[in-house]
Amino acid sequence: HRYSIADGIRDGNVLGFDPYKVLTYADKDVREAVALEKAKASSVEEALADPAKSAMYYKYMDPSQVPMAGEEGADGKHIKGIEEFIGTSQYRDIKHKSMVVKDIKDNWIRLSHGGKFHAILATSSIPEAIEYYRLIRKEIPNLKVTGLFDPSIDNNGGAIFKEDGLIEIIEDYNRAYDQNFSLRGGNNARSYAMMKKDISARLAHKAPYLMIDRQPDKQLDLLIVVDQMLTGFDSKWVNTLYMDKLLKYENIIQAFSRTNRIFNNNEKPFGTIRYYRYPHTMEKNIEKAIKLYSGDKPAGLFVQKLEHNLNKLNEIYRDISELFENAGVENFEKLPMDVADRGRFALLFKRFNNYLEASMIQGFTWKENEYSFVHEEDNSTSIVEMEFDETTYLVLVMRYKELFGRGPGPEGEEPPYDIEPSLIEIDTGRIDTNYMNSKFEKYLWILSQKNVDSEEVQRTLDELHKSFAVLSQTEQKYANIFLHDVESGKAQMEPGKTFREYIVIYEMKIKDNHIKRVVNRLGVYEEKLRALMNSTVTSENINEYGRFDDLRATINKEKAKLYFEQKEKTSIPMYMVNIKAADLLRDFILSGGFNIDGDANDMDDGNTDANSIHEDADHYINQGCSVVQRIDMITQPRGGYINPSSLECIQLGAGIEELEPENVQPQLVGMAVDYLTRFMTGTLVREAFAVSMLGANSVDHGFRAELLLGRIKGLDDESITAAINLVCYDNCARRASAPIPSEDDTMVDQSTISNIRIMVTRAVKFFEDYGPKVLDGFTMEGGYTDKIITGDGDFITSDTLWDFKVSKNPPNSRYTLQLLVYWRMGLHSIHSEFQSIKYLGIYNPRLNTVYRIDVDSIPAEVIEAVEKDVIGY
């Protein structure tokens, strides 16, 4: 048995194909042009006026006599098709190319998943490829496009045009990606062959472009080729092939296979092919190639089309609805109680989402509820009407996410069914809660009326409860607590505040009290606990980079022993206390928090307005002294403990030539550069901006912070603007007296965005040369003192502790002392990474300069003085 591509698809080793025949000329017009030519007539009227011409005309207009594509007759003889009478000139025409480019433009966002994936456009000649390049640059200017072809071929005519076009493409590529290639190399320029390697690596996200998915400005959206890259090139990031050339047999399979490398199935369920040239002939060629190279078992090579997928969506939705109804759950407001029902829902929803993802790539949109399909074989029409909308889908996503959670409390267990992690990450923030809020306002109005009928109050409350399906189970719990306080008169109402906002306030208050209790009972380091809980934590990744071990090391064993002995009313040996404390801490984090005392007093008191939350938040905002604050108190010796002039200075390149000054505070620019660099070098976005999220939650701006965090995807304008607005909350986590940022977005001008983008890009390159990083956003648990109780640094590589500064000036003695304090506190901390530090360094991406000092060159008396007088050892 020969292992075929069909076998590979069935085995899940490669993806199936979704090919589309795209007509740039209507069949009727093409057929009529051929019929008139064969009838030797210049118009239909002339053809019909002559019997001989009329007979010839109608022969070629009849699909049963002359098909669009050639085929074999019953006698084995070849019957020419309409397309065989067409020359290539009509496909070289600008009208055809414009239609192809329009098709690419109209479908780009949908097929590329908003630019996540890349595509290849295969053309028939180098001159045509160059024409396409210029046309796409004109019609789709935001698309990052280049061309790649063998300059030694296709020289029959137009050599000057070809060479000029190649030079134009190379020069545009050099400007777009800061490269130095030329057609023939030489004069310090890199060769065209090296450019091919660079394009290949960029398109495949391979070294040196391993993390290019987070750097949109470095990505290549569309590659135009003639024959290059259609064989042998593999990239899971390519999902679409646009074909304006006629291929046969193995060349078809090779070209199609550029799109079918495995990625996350929810984002790339198949490879898409759209072909334009001689479309009916190409369709026949595809059928022949598939039959020949699939081992005569073509099933599964082509994925199902949109009509089939929409019908499957309706079918599975009906199955899910029936499942919930049989479990006594209305409006999908909660999960069924039975484990078997939940397992069945997990399976059904996973299948549902697979069909939905495929449908969206094929043209399904939430804006349309009805779809019409024309069937070529019999010219019939069918209509599919969708039985669900986007809100219903997002409610089902909410229920699916709840399958992933463990039950509350220490006895919570892992779900006994297969959960697809990527589905947990689907954004449910798009759910329209206006309907729910309208029911809430109606309920408040009813309560405010005199002599209101109790049945009417209950009826209005029931209506409000029915709208709770758009909330998670946890949010539903807080909503019910809030409504109880409203009814009893405990809740303090504010004009204009929405029902969802009250729910967020109550959730923050209760979760904050849960964390308070853990900190009080176990004595753990609070900032570490909050940072871990603000991350996307699972049982598999909870100890990623040793973060849970770091937190566990901060447990106060005496406090923990007292807590467990009082709870269990018996003496407990210390080794068992350690085990119980670690288990409780793990369960608390994985469940999202719970009341570890097990009593009903979650709220601690009845005062639950927003001001009380601000007051309660003070317990975890720094009241003591940070590293920076301590340095501000210190009078250093003349020249500083470490004189900045003693640092080695390494210039990595030119600095930023600012056309306009940045329009936000330098401190915000520095934090944005720091945190975006962490994100762009592999740290999860929530962890990179952990302090900002902590600060936002402490001032009741958690909902806004979540929206800002969700907008940070890379180094595009929106991401950088969101980062600036999010880091405004940093001071709220560092100082109790910090002003609360406005909830209106800070306007960030283009110069600021550009400067930040350049600095982060340089920082990523810096880590390629001086990295990789070992830690970022590090703290010094075990190293803090009565004088310095908090502080966090930027980065540690294998042998260097790094601080990032974006000042326009070289380092001063405050910066060098800060580095020295971090290093010495780190050596006293629980983190072993500090033991390998040989250098202290500052990197300034604005100046693109490294400043570094060997720790062995720092005098012992300086180290002793800083440890005693500054840190307090």
Classified as helix, coil or strand, 239 is strand
Decide if 78 contacts 281 (C-beta within 8 A): no
CB contact at 8 A, 224 and 126? no
Q: Which of 849 and 298 is assigned the larger pLDDT? A: 849
Sign for the pseudo-dihedral over CA of 750, 751, 757, 761 = positive
* 304-321 b/e (C-beta count within 10 Å ≥ 16 → b): bebbbbbebbeebbeebe
Can you count the helices (H) and strands (E) in the chain?
34, 16
- pLDDT band, residue 50 (cuts 50/70/90): very high
Lowest mean per-residue pLDDT among 73-82, 489-498, 775-784, 861-870: 489-498
Residues 4-23 have pLDDT tens digits of 566 666 666 778 888 999 99
Distance, in Å, from the CA atom of 710 to the CA atom of 706, rounded to the nearest integer, reads 6
Distance, in Å, from the CA atom of 18 to the CA atom of 33, rounded to the nearest integer, reads 31
330-351: average pLDDT: 89
CB of 132 closer than 8 Å to CB of 123 = yes
Beta strand 795-797 pairing with 773-776: antiparallel
> What size, in residues, is the chain?
873
Residue whose entry in the numeric block shows the structure tokens 């994985």: 590
Q: Beta-carbon neighbour count of residue 661 at 10 Å?
A: 10
User: What is the rounded CA–CA span in Å between residue 595 and residue 567?
Assistant: 13
Average pLDDT of span 288-308: 75
**Contact predicate 695/729, CB 8 Å:** yes
3-state secondary structure 507-527: HHHHHHHHHHHHHHHHCCCHH
pLDDT at 62 over 80: yes
DSSP calls for 443-455: HHHHHHSTT--HH
Q: What is the pLDDT of residue 581?
A: 92
- Which is it for the CA torsion 515, 516, 522, 528, positive or negative? positive
Q: Which two tokens stand for residue 546?
A: 């040793």
| Rounded Cα distance, 828 and 819, in Å | 15
Distance of alpha carbon 147 from alpha carbon 130, whole angstroms: 8
Contacts of 680 by beta carbon, 8 Å cutoff, 6+ apart:
211, 214, 215, 714, 715, 760, 763, 764
Q: How far apart are CA 124 and CA 91, in angstroms?
A: 10
Residues of the chain with pLDDT > 70, as a percent, come to: 89
pLDDT given at position 408: 40
Amino acid at 132: Y
**126-139 and 94-111 helices, crossing angle to 10°:** 60
| pLDDT, tens digit (0-9, with 9 covering 90-100), for 634-668 | 778 877 899 888 999 988 876 665 546 788 888 88
Question: Residue written as tokens 């900190």?
Answer: 519
Q: Which alpha helices (H) appear in 415-472, and where do they start and end? A: 421-424, 434-448, 454-466
* Mean pLDDT along residues 329-347: 89
| pLDDT > 80? residue 91 | yes
Query: Would you say 256 and 6 are in contact if contact means Cβ atoms under 8 Å apart?
Result: no
Give yes or no for a cis peptide into 19 (omega within 30° of 0). no
Distances (CA, A) of 367 to 327, 371, 541: 31, 11, 38
**Angstrom distance (rounded) from CA 379 to CA 374:** 6
Please say if the pLDDT value at position 766 is more than 70: yes
Q: How confident is the model at residue 425 (pLDDT cuts 50, 70, 90)?
A: low
Residue 302 is predicted with a pLDDT of: 79
Q: Which of 113-122, 393-402, 596-605 has the highest mean pLDDT?
A: 113-122
Inter-residue contact 271 to 111 (CB < 8 Å): no
Q: From the CB of residue 486, how many other CB atoms can be counted at a distance below 10 Å? A: 17
3-state SS assignment for residue 796: strand
Find out whether 824 and 744 touch, Cβ atoms under 8 Å.
Answer: no
> Who's near 54: CB < 8 A, 6+ residues apart?
39, 47, 48
- From residue 244, alpha-carbon distances to 125, 159, 281, 345 in Å are 10, 22, 13, 44
Residue 724 has pLDDT above 90, yes or no: yes
Measured in whole angstroms, the distance separating CA 248 from the mean position of its chain's CA atoms is: 38
**CA 350 to chain CA mean position, Å:** 20
Contact 34, 63 (CB under 8 A): no
Q: Of 24-33, 90-99, 201-210, 653-662, where does mean pLDDT reach its minimum?
A: 653-662
Largest CA distance in the chain: 113
Averaged pLDDT of the chain: 85
3-state secondary structure of 711: coil
Q: Which residues contact 300 (CB under 8 A, 6 or more apart)?
A: 6, 9, 10, 16
Q: What is the pLDDT of residues 847-869, one digit of tens each?
A: 889 999 999 999 999 999 999 98
Write down the pLDDT at residue 355: 92
Q: Tell me how far apart the alpha carbons of residues 854 and 840 are, in angstroms, rounded to a whole number.
A: 7
C-alpha to C-alpha distance for 458 and 443, rounded to whole angstroms: 9
* Domains parsed from the chain with CATH numbers: 14-86 (no CATH), 90-277 (3.40.50.300), 338-424 (no CATH), 471-619 (no CATH), 626-662+758-873 (3.90.320)
Is pLDDT larger for residue 459 or for residue 313?
313
Q: What is the pLDDT of residues 37-49, one digit of tens each?
A: 999 999 999 999 9
Query: What DSSP designation does 70 have?
Result: -
Q: Using CB atoms within 10 A of its CB, is residue 621 exposed (0-12), middle (13-18) or buried (19+)?
A: buried
Q: Confidence band (pLDDT; 50, 70, 90) for 294?
A: low
Hey, what are 473's tokens? Answer: 């189970």
Unique residue bearing structure tokens 């229920």 = 399
Higher-pLDDT residue of 432, 411: 432
The pLDDT score that the predictor gives to residue 1 is: 45
Q: Where are the alpha helices (DSSP H) in 238-278?
A: 249-256
Hey, what are 702's tokens?
Answer: 């958690």
Q: HSE (CB half, 13 Å, CA atoms) of 203? A: 27
149 is written with which tokens? Answer: 């072809």
- Please tell me the predicted confidence (pLDDT) of residue 660: 61
Looking at residues 421-449, what average pLDDT do you find? 72
Confidence band of 607 (pLDDT split at 50, 70, 90): very low
Q: Is the pLDDT of residue 318 over 80?
A: yes
Residue 77 is classified by DSSP as P
3-class secondary-structure state, position 65:
coil
Give Cβ neighbours of residue 499 (< 8 Å, ≥ 6 apart): 433, 436, 437, 440, 479
Q: How far apart are CA 148 and CA 169, in angstroms?
A: 9
Residue 370: which pLDDT band, with cuts at 50, 70 and 90?
very high
More confident residue, 604 or 323: 323
Give the best-scoring range by mean pLDDT among 290-299, 720-729, 744-753: 720-729
Most confidently modeled range among 434-448, 499-513, 581-595: 581-595
Closest listed residue to residue 269, CA positions, set 15, 563, 575: 15
422: Cβ–Cβ under 8 A, 6 or more apart, which residues?
264, 266, 267
Q: Sign of the C-alpha dihedral, residues 291, 294, 299, 300?
A: negative
Q: Is residue 114 left, alpha or beta, with left meaning phi > 0 and alpha meaning psi from -120 to 50?
A: left
- Tell me: pLDDT of 167 over 70: yes
3-state secondary structure of 676: helix
Of 189, 162, 156, the closest CA to residue 173 belongs to 189
Which helix (H) or strand (E) segment holds residue 849: the answer is strand 849-854
pLDDT band at 187 (very low <50, low <70, confident <90, very high): confident
What was the pLDDT predicted at 48?
94
In this structure, are strands 118-122 and 238-243 parallel, antiparallel, or unpaired? parallel
Distance separating alpha carbons of residues 663 and 645, to the nearest angstrom: 31
Q: Which of 683, 682, 674, 775 is nearest to 726 (CA)?
A: 674
pLDDT value at 416 more than 70 = no
Q: Measured on CA atoms in the order 59, 64, 68, 73, is the torsion positive or negative?
A: negative
Q: Higher model confidence: residue 735 or residue 238?
A: 238
Residue 829 has pLDDT above 70, yes or no: yes
What pLDDT was estimated at residue 468?
83
- Residue 616's pLDDT band (boundaries 50, 70, 90)? very low
With left for phi above 0 and alpha for psi between -120 and 50, is residue 851 left, alpha or beta?
Answer: beta
